[in-house]
Amino acid sequence: MAVSVATSARRLVVAVPYLWLLLFFLAPFVIVLRMALSDAATALPPYAPHFEGLSTIGSFLSQLDLENFSLITDDPLYWQSYLYSLRIAALTTLIALGIGYPLAYAMAAASRRWQGLLLVLVILPFWTSFLIRVYAWIGILRPEGLLDMVLGGLGLAGEPLRLLNTETAVLIGMVYSYLPFMVLPLFTTLEKLDRSLLEAAADLGSTPLTAFLTVTLPLSLPGILAGCALVFIPAVGEFVIPDLLGGPDTVMIGKVLWNEFFSNRDWPLASAVAIVLLIVLVLPLVLLQRARLARGGAA
């Protein structure tokens, strides 16, 4: 009796989240795919689906409409914004790594008592709203904003910098928002690093610099990879930062999707953009995972 209750409880543990995800994750995903293969229509919902139900898969396949996808590849707006998103995400990742590594290294080198506080200080901004953090930079970067004021006060800049609505502003906002994602995994790997390894390296004749290059850096590689993935992935699809800090020429793909959906009301095209965005994101992830598995298999 008790056994059968336990067994059904065990089944529920899997079944409940499973059903939820099938319903609210997989089903929507299938709908997006279907939508991407539909024609835009003016009626609300603004699309004319190409097939109804699974029984018509045959007829569906025969009249597959790749029009939206060909539009994406033909119109330079789309593929340019994809490339631009990748570029911004890559730059963000590199800059965040450049700032985050020394920061994480210094945190790991600090005494235990300080480490706890520093860790909280890195995590704390994450708990404050994303919008707030971006908004703070608008106040700083806008013409006659804080930055201009400070630089003017120091006599360093004669005229306003006009940073807001530029690529620089987007990069600053991105790096600022995603820096904790870079610092946290780096700190975790650096903090775990066995100090006696560095002592051993010194004992065997390494200078601090060569010890860093030959011991610390290779051993922190997993942290570097994790941090880069955590920054790069959300950065590609980012919408809010380029929208608020960027200008007309900083068109990232997340914003294109938003505009297609909300402004142009072209749901099928927005869906196609979403599918391509996923492919762009998932491919490098799969490759990364493959590489990791291959390394694990060799080790």
Partner 1 sequence: MRRLGPGLVLVLVAGFAFLYLPILALIAYSFNASRLVTVWGGFSTHWYGALMANQPLLDAAWLSVRLGLVSATFATVLGTLAALALVRHGRFVGRTLFSGMVLAPLVMPEVVTGLSLLLLFVAVDAERGFWTVTIAHATFSLGFACIVVQSRLAGFDRSLEEAAQDLGATPLVTFATVTLPLIWPAVAAAWMLAFTLSLDDLVIASFTTGPGATTLPMRLYSAVKLGVSPEINAACTIMIGAVALAVIAASLLLKREQVAGS
1 vs 298 by CB, closer to partner 1: 1
Using CB under 8 A, which of 51, 69, 79, 261 touches partner 1? 261
Measured CA to CA, the distance from residue 268 to residue 76 in angstroms comes to: 18
160 in contact with partner 1 (CB under 8 A): no
- Give the binding range for partner 1 (CB under 8 A) out of 71-79, 184-192, 219-227, 263-271: 263-271
CB of 58 to partner 1, least distance (A): 22
| Contacts to partner 1 from residues 215-254, by CB under 8 A | 233-234, 236-240, 244, 254
105 touches partner 1 by CB under 8 A: yes
Spacing of C-alpha 194 from chain mean position: 31
Q: What binding mask, one character per residue, do residues 15-44 give for partner 1 by CB under 8 A, x or -?
A: -xxx-xxx-xxxxxx-xx--x---------
Stretch that binds partner 1, among 59-67, 70-78, 142-150, 289-297 (CB under 8 A): 142-150
**Which residues, 6 or more positions from 163, have their beta carbon under 8 angstroms from its beta carbon?**
141, 147, 169, 172
Q: Is the dihedral of CA 261, 274, 27, 64 positive or negative?
A: positive
Which C-beta is closer to partner 1: that of 64 or that of 98? 98
132 binds partner 1 (CB under 8 A): yes
Nearer to partner 1, 119 or 219 (CB): 119
Which residues sit opposite 39 in a β-bridge?
48
Q: Which of 25, 47, 245 is nearest to 255 (CA)?
A: 245
Instruction: Tell which one of 56, 63, 73, 128 touches partner 1 (CB under 8 A).
Output: 128
Given candidates 145, 162, 198, 212, which one binds partner 1 under the rule CB under 8 A? Answer: 145
Gap between the Cα atoms of 244 and 189, Å rounded: 34
Residue closer to partner 1, measured from CB, 40 or 298: 40
Distance CA 256, CA 265 (A): 12
Residues 195-226: b if buried by 16+ CB within 10 A, e if exposed: eeebeebeeeebeeeebeeebbeeebeebbeb
Give the integer Cα–Cα distance in Å for 199 and 205. 10
Q: How far is the CB of 192 from partner 1 (least distance, A)?
A: 14
For residue 165, which of 250, 257, 90 has the smallest C-alpha distance?
Answer: 250
Contact status: 287 vs partner 1 (CB under 8 A): no
Q: Tell which residue, 222, 214, 221, has the closest CA to residue 197.
A: 214
126: Cβ–Cβ under 8 A, 6 or more apart, which residues? 180
Range 173-202, binding partner 1 (CB under 8 A): 176, 179-180
Q: Find the shortest distance in angstroms from Cβ 187 to partner 1.
A: 11
Q: What are the phi and psi torsion angles at 42 (to 5°)?
A: -85, -20
Q: Whose Cβ is closer to partner 1: residue 24's or residue 63's? A: 24
Residue choice 71, 91, 110, 151 for contact with partner 1 (CB under 8 A)? 110
Q: Of 108 and 201, which has the nearer Cβ to partner 1?
A: 108
